[in-house]
Chains A and B, each alone.
Chain A
Amino acid sequence: MSGGVLIFGEVVDGGLHPTVRQLVNAAGRVANASEVTLCLAVDGSFDEGGLDGVSVGEVVLFEHPDAVSDGIGGVYSLLTELVCDAVERFEPGVVLVGKTDAGSVVSARLAARFGASLASDCIDLALNAEGRVAVTRPVHGGSALAVYEFAGDGLQVVSVRPGAFEATEGVSGMPQVDRVDVSGIGVDGAVPVLVETVVEESEGVPLEQADVVVSGGRGLGGVEPFDQLRELCGLLGAALGASRAACDAGWIDHSHQVGLTGKSISPTTYITVGISGASQHMAGCSSARNIVAIDKDREANIFSHARYGVVGDWAKVLPAFTAAVAELD
């Protein structure tokens, strides 16, 4: 493959965003480590020690005093300029970014500016017979998978779904690190201005870290049943989730939404109540190890993903289930 791979990684709290080590692993599918450059936009708070075990040819730290504040806030205007500068500087054949909030924006803006080809939210990468990148990505909300192959000799931009690749682990040793002062790069023209970032305290156990998650869906029919789920969550130390339909109906806040456009969860046990298992929902819980479904429709898609299930009216099944859970020691 010509030109090598440029990973544009994200920095959070002075260290690597979890996607960075996943991207290093993904890059290994299409290039040798020596052909991979990891570029990170950093401010003065970045700790180089966090790069231990990152196996790439070179790490380039783009130093800009506003790099991280724009990354977290703003709408990634500066980050877009920095990634475009990196592409001009290193002339890669392939650019990899994570399909995060920032990655979604900068990958599409980069592709538009360079007339590059772009594939988003990829879960697998390979080289085809012509030495160009072929990607696999879920489409139609995860109902189908599609393979796309890049044509032509232009720049290929790929965003990778967070969690689709494991992080490379068990390797140690510092990569070669170079620093480049890019503080002269600014943003021209009209840009959005970040006024403030508001962190919303999530209710109960955070979904992304929970070992047990209990979710409710359209089948619950209203606000009140979610109180019953909260009671169960309390007994199990579980996080409370919901399908998009339940959130859009206003029965529960959107911060609980699990799915393609909501949160991605990876609990050991995922208990769903009144959720049919539309592919858009399943896209958010594909990493759950054991799905337990309570739903009245035996034909519902959720049962083809579940390990255990009860077919029945949740209003009768759930209280008895919760009562039995309360009696377990």
Chain B
Amino acid sequence: MLKIAVCAKQVPDTDIPPSQFKVDEGALRVVPPAGVPPIVNGFDMNAVEAALRLRDAGAEVEIVVFSVGTEFALDVMKKPLAIGADRLVLVDDEASESLDAMGTASVLAAAIERDGGADLVLAGRQASDWDQGHVPIMLSEMMSAPLVTLVRALSVGGDGSSFEVERVAEGGFQRVACPMPAVMTVTNELGEARYANLRGIMAASRKQPETMTLADLGLGELVNGKMVEMTRLFVPVSESNVEIIEGEDEADSGRLLALRLREAKLI
């Protein structure tokens, strides 16, 4: 049995129009539009998909999703369960708001350790809120486990104790052999997560996450260790100076656009 830990983060929905993206500059927070629920970070769902494909390929796997945060939307965080993950572990603590990447990585390392460790830790290449991609890389250092980033395909090696990996590289890709246990980040090139079917959704609704706090993990002291402090958050203003080309109909507009671009020496 292969134990796979997938690290997943709850983030604001990225699919809102930019005009609805608002920040509270005083509180240094993003203010999601009313009524729009959060999502599981898209790259983390790619990571869940990577784990499920190992199972599809015949490996006997247990998939446990770990998340650190607070104010979890349970129906959102259960989405990985609905498509086939086995268990959900939530480190739910207000203090997690003040963790930096090192802090978050320490918490994940402790939660995974408490759960009996893992043969493979998967996470998305970065979270769509702060776009850093630090946590899984730091986790690999803390676990002294080999790291492979930007994974686009993954399978268990013929020896059963290593992984065969394809990772995205500049101008192509690389084939990598990686021993277990390992930490890997998954990129969207791997493919989108599958849709949940009704049976999966029903099964997920019956499962309860295992929840814990930082104190439960013996990490109550971690909260004051932030080394990089955000001091400003703002939406840059861009001045629109678009010239809209309008002809008699849409085709005519297309024709006039070509003429205008040639006049401006842009084509």
Residues of A within 8 A of B (CB): 73, 75, 77, 100-101, 104-105, 108-109, 111-113, 115-121, 134, 138-141, 143-152, 154, 189-200, 202, 212, 236, 244, 247-248, 254, 260-261, 268-269, 276-280, 290, 292-294, 298-299, 301, 303-313, 316-325, 328
Are A151 and B226 in contact, CB atoms less than 8 angstroms apart? yes
Are B21 and A140 in contact, CB atoms less than 8 angstroms apart? yes
Are A303 and B102 in contact, CB atoms less than 8 angstroms apart? no
Are A140 and B129 in contact, CB atoms less than 8 angstroms apart? yes
Q: Is the interface of A mostly helix, strand, loop or mixed?
A: mixed
Are B178 and A108 in contact, CB atoms less than 8 angstroms apart? no
Given A301-B17, A301-B19, A324-B255, verify A108-B133 contact (CB < 8 Å).
Answer: yes
- Chain B residue at minimal CB-CB distance from A267: B266
How many Å lie between the Cα of A320 and that of B101 in the bound state? 51
**Residues of A close to B226: CB separation below 8 A:** 151
Question: Which of B67-75, B79-87, B208-216, B240-248 is found at the contact surface with chain A?
Answer: B240-248
B76 within 8 A of A: no
Enumerate 17 A-B pairs (CB-CB under 8 Å) in ascending A order.
Answer: A75-B148, A105-B149, A108-B137, A108-B141, A140-B21, A140-B30, A143-B18, A144-B23, A146-B232, A146-B233, A149-B231, A150-B227, A192-B179, A193-B177, A299-B17, A310-B257, A321-B255
**Number of A-B contacts defined by CB within 8 Å:** 268
Are B267 and A325 in contact, CB atoms less than 8 angstroms apart? yes
Are B131 and A151 in contact, CB atoms less than 8 angstroms apart? no
Nearest chain B CB to A225 CB, angstrom units: 14
Are A303 and B233 in contact, CB atoms less than 8 angstroms apart? no
**Residues of A close to B142: CB separation below 8 A:** 112
Q: Is the interface of B mostly helix, strand, loop or mixed?
A: mixed
Inter-chain pairs besides A138-B131, A319-B254, 6 sampled, C-beta below 8 Å:
A141-B128, A248-B192, A303-B240, A305-B240, A312-B250, A328-B267
How many Å lie between the Cα of A105 and that of B137 in the bound state? 7
Are B187 and A261 in contact, CB atoms less than 8 angstroms apart? yes
Are A269 and B261 in contact, CB atoms less than 8 angstroms apart? yes
How many Å lie between the Cα of A194 and that of B165 in the bound state? 10
**Residues of B close to A118: CB separation below 8 A:** 101, 134, 228
How many Å lie between the Cα of A116 and that of B191 in the bound state? 34
Nearest chain B CB to A83 CB, angstrom units: 13
**Residues of A close to B188: CB separation below 8 A:** 244, 247-248, 254, 261
B130 within 8 A of A: yes
B205 within 8 A of A: no
Are B147 and A306 in contact, CB atoms less than 8 angstroms apart? no
Are B141 and A261 in contact, CB atoms less than 8 angstroms apart? no
B145 within 8 A of A: yes
Interface size on B, residues (CB 8 A): 89
- Give which listed residue, B150, B172, B250, B252, contacts A313 with CB less than 8 A: B250
How many Å lie between the Cα of A301 and that of B20 in the bound state? 11
Are A290 and B266 in contact, CB atoms less than 8 angstroms apart? yes
**Residues of B close to A324: CB separation below 8 A:** 254-255, 257-259
Are B133 and A148 in contact, CB atoms less than 8 angstroms apart? no
Are A141 and B262 in contact, CB atoms less than 8 angstroms apart? no
Are B231 and A115 in contact, CB atoms less than 8 angstroms apart? no
How many Å lie between the Cα of A319 and that of B255 in the bound state? 9
Given A269-B267, A308-B261, verify A120-B133 contact (CB < 8 Å).
Answer: yes
B20-56 CB contact bits vs A (8 Å, 1 = yes)?
0101000010100000000000000000000000000
Given A292-B257, A312-B250, verify A134-B242 contact (CB < 8 Å).
Answer: no
Nearest chain A CB to B19 CB, angstrom units: 7
- Give which listed residue, A120, A192, A277, A328, contacts B134 with CB less than 8 A: A120
- Give which listed residue, A148, A248, A322, contacts B229 with CB less than 8 A: A148
Are A198 and B235 in contact, CB atoms less than 8 angstroms apart? no
Given A118-B228, A199-B172, A316-B254, verify A310-B244 contact (CB < 8 Å).
Answer: yes
